[in-house]
Structure 1
Amino acid sequence: MAPTQTVRVPHLDAQVGYKISNGKIDPSKPTFILINSLTTTVDLYNAELTNPKLTAAANLVAIEPLGHGATSTSVEHFTYWDSALVTLQAAQALGVSKAFSLGTSQGGWIAVRTALLAPERIQGVIILGSSMDSESADSRSKGCWDPFPIVGPFLQKWSSSTPTPDFVVGDDWIQPVMGLGFGAAATDVTVGTWTQILKSVYAGDEGRKKLRMSVINLAERDGLLLRLGDIKCPVHWLQGVNEPVYGSVVQKEQIKLFTASKEAKLDLIDGGAHFLNATNPKEVEEAILGMVAKA
């Protein structure tokens, strides 16, 4: 794969990291925007970006949210709405006027936000391993995780009133995140590769601030349940049956809230991990090709 590139956008004067399949946009093909999960990078989608079936059918543009990978801004505080707007502006800057939007975990609710902010531009949404609620008590009562005991000590540790030039994210964060995300696909090689990536991204004072705000965004985000009825484009949601983060109960309720969508469907996948494209690449491939075929 080619290295991650960046493009500057107006919102927050952000420099946005991205990778494009085949290295360029083919205007004759539809485009899929791919949005990565918490504290990962566009590398989460390397398999899709190099998949011949997918790249023959569509342009794939992986874009990193604020606080992730090569994406940066001088503004310390931002939200998922900012990331959605930055994603849309980056796609526009790359020559993509209309696209489908796919996201894993946090990428799922960012993808939905892109459809809310630009319904005339987003042609469909694919959600992988996610929830459209906040980290609410109701969600926890239905099998979703409780992130606060996990992330609270890290947020306290990552807070500093003075610069931290020697900061590097520790294995105590990386190992659990990769374990929760990849599940059975979290091999020593996989974890080792991501350890190198994360220690490169989340280093120094800027890296600490990016990491802290990314995790604050997760913990304190707003829910989307009352907005889902405004989504008009097709929605295809794929969820692992026993995935450890958001389970497979709330999705059955939330998919019914896409009342204005042309088509809203949920597929529950046996053995699917939180990072669903890692354990079930075939199902993700079929979802992408299926949505493109119906466009």
Structure 2
Amino acid sequence: MATTTTLTVPHLGGTKVGYRLSSPFFPCLSTTVLINSMCTTVSLYDSQFSSDRLDGTTNLLAIEPLGHGSTSCPSEHFTYWDSAIIAIQLLDALKIDKVFGIGTSQGGWIVVRMALLAPDRILGLLPLGTSMDSESPDSRTKGAWDPLTQLEPFYEKWSSPVTTPEFVVDEIWRGMVASLGFDSGEGVPEETLKFWDETLKEVYKGDEGRKKVRMALICLLERDGLLLRLGDIKCPVYWLQGPQDPVFGLKLAQEQIKLFTGSVEARLTIVEGASHYLNATKPEAVEDALLEMIGRYWLE
């Protein structure tokens, strides 16, 4: 479900940010920010919060970006850059200085934006099942999906000139979020489908919910690419990708990891059997990479 813990930051006239923070919080440990994928919530990272290996090794701070979970702002319009800014402002509010960043799918390009905006505060990046390009024609020639063709009907349906108090996000959309993200080849467990079906119905309901999911979709379809900016990233990058990722494939990750030319270390790990939501189906691989990065780059 969406988190019930929120904190208001200044950006966009006062944004209420939904987040989940490890408890207890240990100031002597590193902190890892986790940004969730399209139309999910902090619950995407339940495996990480319940991990015995991470408990007592790093604090975890999962943040719901704009258009997701409990995060909301006065402005109907926002971009992925805005989500990166509110995440940084949440760090300020929580008095957390330097962090590692994990981002699944859209979360991957949000944490990279955080590193571009606040390079002195991001110690390392772990993009999972993602791409650094826009939804470009070039990406589609290299195995990525075509979201405009597949998702434009939802945009049209959710663009209403009148209020929609009875709105509940479409059943097809709810099923697609789970099937695209959690299926690693053996189908999605029924309890997973049910959990996310209920979560999406709760988050995206009424007129506010319609506007929220519509703008989240616009952000996805119209996001700007980061390819020309990746060389400015200085921190280490450990990218994890499934070889049969149904959204972005593998070739994009293989090409784009080479664009982190300014990074102290940039590598791609291919995780066999991973779903698009790689952290959920292969949490051990994510833990391995994160613990290795913390061991090498944690400053305190």
TM range (shorter): over 0.9
Paired residues of 1:169 and 1:202 also in contact (CA < 8 A): yes
| Distance verdict in 2 for CA 1:166–1:2, change over 3 Å | closer
One-letter identity of the residue aligned with 2:281: T
Aligned pairs for 1:5-84 (under 5 A) are: 5-12=5-12, 13-22=14-23, 24-84=24-84
Residue in structure 2 matched with residue 192 of structure 1 by the alignment? 194
Paired residues of 2:3 and 2:42 also in contact (CA < 8 A): no
Cα distance, 1:106 vs. partner?
0.2
Corresponding residue to 1:245 among 231, 244, 247: 247
1:144 corresponds to 2:154: no
One-letter identity of the residue aligned with 1:264: A
* Distance in structure 2 (CA, Å) of the matches to 1:275 and 1:7: 26
* Distance in structure 2 (CA, Å) of the matches to 1:19 and 1:127: 19
Paired residues of 2:2 and 2:41 also in contact (CA < 8 A): no
1:209 corresponds to 2:211: yes
Cα deviation code 1:156-185 (max 9, x no counterpart): 000111111111112110111210100136
* Distance in structure 2 (CA, Å) of the matches to 1:274 and 1:20: 24
Paired residues of 1:272 and 1:280 also in contact (CA < 8 A): yes
Aligned pairs for 1:119-138 (under 5 A) are: 119-138=119-138
Cα distance, 1:97 vs. partner?
1.0
The TM-score, its normalising length taken from structure 1, stands at 0.97
Paired residues of 1:34 and 1:61 also in contact (CA < 8 A): yes
Cα distance, 1:288 vs. partner?
1.1
Cα deviation code 1:105-145 (max 9, x no counterpart): 00000000000000011110000000000000100000000
Cα deviation code 1:60-116 (max 9, x no counterpart): 000000000000011000000000000111122112111011100000000000000
One-letter identity of the residue aligned with 1:235: V
- Greater CA deviation, 145-154 or 177-186? 177-186
One-letter identity of the residue aligned with 1:135: E
Q: Percent identity?
A: 55
| Distance verdict in 2 for CA 1:55–1:2, change over 3 Å | farther
* Distance in structure 2 (CA, Å) of the matches to 1:51 and 1:3: 19
SS of the counterpart of 1:262? coil
- Greater CA deviation, 47-56 or 248-257? 47-56
What is the total number of aligned residue pairs between the two structures? 294
**Structure 1 regions of 5+ residues with no counterpart?**
none
SS of the counterpart of 1:54? coil
* Distance in structure 1 (CA, Å) of the matches to 2:36 and 2:140: 23
Paired residues of 2:36 and 2:44 also in contact (CA < 8 A): yes
Residue in structure 1 matched with residue 294 of structure 2 by the alignment? 292
Paired residues of 2:2 and 2:43 also in contact (CA < 8 A): no
**Structure 2 regions of 5+ residues with no counterpart?**
none
Runs of 4+ in 1 over 2 A off after TM superposition: 1-4
Residue in structure 2 matched with residue 110 of structure 1 by the alignment? 110
Paired residues of 1:45 and 1:62 also in contact (CA < 8 A): yes
1:183 corresponds to 2:176: no
Cα deviation code 1:11-63 (max 9, x no counterpart): 011000000122x4311000000000000000000110121211211000000
* Distance in structure 2 (CA, Å) of the matches to 1:71 and 1:98: 22
- Greater CA deviation, 139-148 or 2-11? 2-11
1:234 corresponds to 2:236: yes
1:266 corresponds to 2:268: yes
SS of the counterpart of 1:19? strand
- Greater CA deviation, 46-55 or 75-84? 46-55
One-letter identity of the residue aligned with 1:97: D
* Distance in structure 2 (CA, Å) of the matches to 1:203 and 1:94: 30
One-letter identity of the residue aligned with 2:19: Y
One-letter identity of the residue aligned with 1:197: T
Paired residues of 1:21 and 1:50 also in contact (CA < 8 A): no
Paired residues of 1:20 and 1:49 also in contact (CA < 8 A): no
One-letter identity of the residue aligned with 1:30: S
* Distance in structure 2 (CA, Å) of the matches to 1:138 and 1:2: 35
| CA root-mean-square deviation | 1.3
* Distance in structure 2 (CA, Å) of the matches to 1:25 and 1:79: 30
